[in-house]
């Protein structure tokens, strides 16, 4: 559905994205992750036909986004960052206008506008001026607009920014449901969101792709960053030294000032040492109040890839 080859964009000589290549196939939900200024919005703007790349090529549904911009644009629904809207129009009026611009058949406009208003929870505010809406509602108007023409591809630039947790959950559900019919490319800062909704993730940093894989595989790659946490009262024992003797434990970090100590164990990948830890604690009569395996999150992947020095 999307094919990007060696895409580069420079602003006044300064590269915003460099040599991006990736593909998104039909029916995928692709998550676009990266710190601020990594080039997410630039990439999405190029794909949406808002501006041309400096070099490289991108196609949407087989149409070049620049050479055959009109056909490419007809296949996508784009929700820009910060959702710029005409504040002097009413919600339904705006959606009617957008539907006509997108070439929705005249007799289907009312039906489509009704549908997206229902879907995005805009029924209560449909007669309000857009200028008086809250950030969350404006966001939903933007999403409704993107969905209007039932496009094959949705490009959503930070669709959940500025929403409250309930709305985020609703939008996440909405996106998941949409994923059954549409191909979606979305960018976000919220990592759990990507883990829950996306089938594949691209991590972009300083204009380059750092990783492109399924969330599970990405996590697999840095399983080491996970480990085991033990919180126990070890008395006069040197807990860290004892724990290090267990085979498979690479490193132990001790926290806590009072009697309760918190040990973070880094273990070799693929080994579960929780049983040995339990036996050790039982032998030494340590009181244990927590023993858990910490799973690596996408946040770890993200931090590791975009801030190598922190880890």
Partner 1 sequence: MRKFYTLLSREVRGYFHSPVAYVVLIFFLIVSGIDFYFQVSFMNQRQVQYTVQEAFFNSVFFWFAFVLIFPLITMRLFAEEFKLGTIEPLTTVPVRDWQVVLSKFFGALIFYLILWVPTLLYFWIFLRVTNQSAAHSAGAYFGSYLMLLLLGMFYLSIGCLTSVLTRNQIIAAVISFCAITLLFFLGLVQFILLDITSTTRDLLGYFSAIEHMGTFSRGVIDTRPIVLYVSMTIVMLTLTYQAFQSRKWRL
- Residue 97 CA to residue 93 CA, distance in Å, equals 6
Q: Give 78 or 286: the residue with its C-beta nearer to partner 1.
A: 78
Q: In the complex, which residues of this chain contact partner 1 (CB under 8 A)?
A: 11, 45, 48-52, 70-71, 73-74, 76, 78, 80, 82, 84-89, 97-98, 100-103, 106, 145
Question: The dihedral of CA 12, 16, 17, 18: what is its sign?
Answer: positive
Q: Give 53 or 239: the residue with its C-beta nearer to partner 1.
A: 53
One DSSP character per residue, 85-142 reads: --TTSBHHHHHHHHHHHTT--GGGHHHHHHHHHHHTT-GGGTTSBGGGS-HHHHHHHH
CB of 143 to partner 1, least distance (A): 12
CB of 59 to partner 1, least distance (A): 16
**3-state helix vs strand vs coil in the chain, percent to 5:** 35, 30, 35
CB of 49 to partner 1, least distance (A): 6
Q: Give 73 or 172: the residue with its C-beta nearer to partner 1.
A: 73
Contact indicator for 232, 281 with CB cutoff of 8 Å: yes
Contact indicator for 16, 10 with CB cutoff of 8 Å: yes
CB of 106 to partner 1, least distance (A): 7
CB of 170 to partner 1, least distance (A): 22
Q: Give 38 or 301: the residue with its C-beta nearer to partner 1.
A: 38
Q: Give 46 or 198: the residue with its C-beta nearer to partner 1.
A: 46
């Amino acid at each position: 559905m999307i094919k990007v080859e060696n895409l580069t964009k420079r602003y006044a000589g300064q590269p915003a994205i460099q040599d991006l290549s990736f593909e998104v196939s039909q029916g995928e939900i692709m998550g676009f992750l990266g710190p601020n200024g990594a080039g997410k919005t630039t990439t999405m703007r190029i794909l949406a036909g808002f501006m041309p790349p400096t070099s490289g090529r991108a196609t949407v549904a087989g149409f070049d986004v620049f050479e055959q911009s009109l056909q490419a644009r007809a296949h996508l629904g784009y929700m820009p960052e910060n959702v710029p809207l005409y504040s002097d129009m009413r919600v339904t009026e705006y959606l009617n206008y957008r539907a006509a611009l997108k070439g929705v058949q005249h007799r289907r406009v009312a039906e489509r506008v009704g549908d997206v208003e229902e879907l995005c929870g805009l029924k209560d505010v449909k007669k309000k001026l857009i200028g008086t809406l809250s950030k969350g509602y404006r966001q939903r108007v933007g999403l409704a607009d993107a969905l209007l023409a039932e496009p094959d591809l949705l490009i959503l630039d930070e669709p959940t920014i500025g929403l409250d947790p309930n709305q985020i959950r609703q939008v996440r559900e909405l996106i998941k449901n949409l994923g059954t019919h549409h191909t979606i490319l979305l960018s976000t800062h919220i990592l759990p969101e990507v883990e829950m909704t996306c089938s594949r993730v691209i991590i972009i940093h300083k204009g380059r792709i750092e990783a492109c894989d399924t969330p599970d595989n990405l996590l697999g790659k840095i399983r080491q960053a996970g480990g085991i946490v033990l919180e126990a009262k070890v008395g006069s024992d040197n807990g860290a030294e004892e724990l290090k003797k267990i085979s498979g434990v690479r490193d132990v970090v001790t926290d806590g000032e009072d009697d309760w100590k918190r040990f973070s164990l880094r273990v070799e990948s693929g080994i579960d040492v929780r049983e040995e830890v339990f036996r050790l604690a039982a032998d030494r009569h340590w009181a244990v109040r927590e023993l858990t395996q910490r799973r690596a999150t996408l946040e770890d992947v993200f931090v590791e890839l975009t801030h190598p020095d922190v880890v």
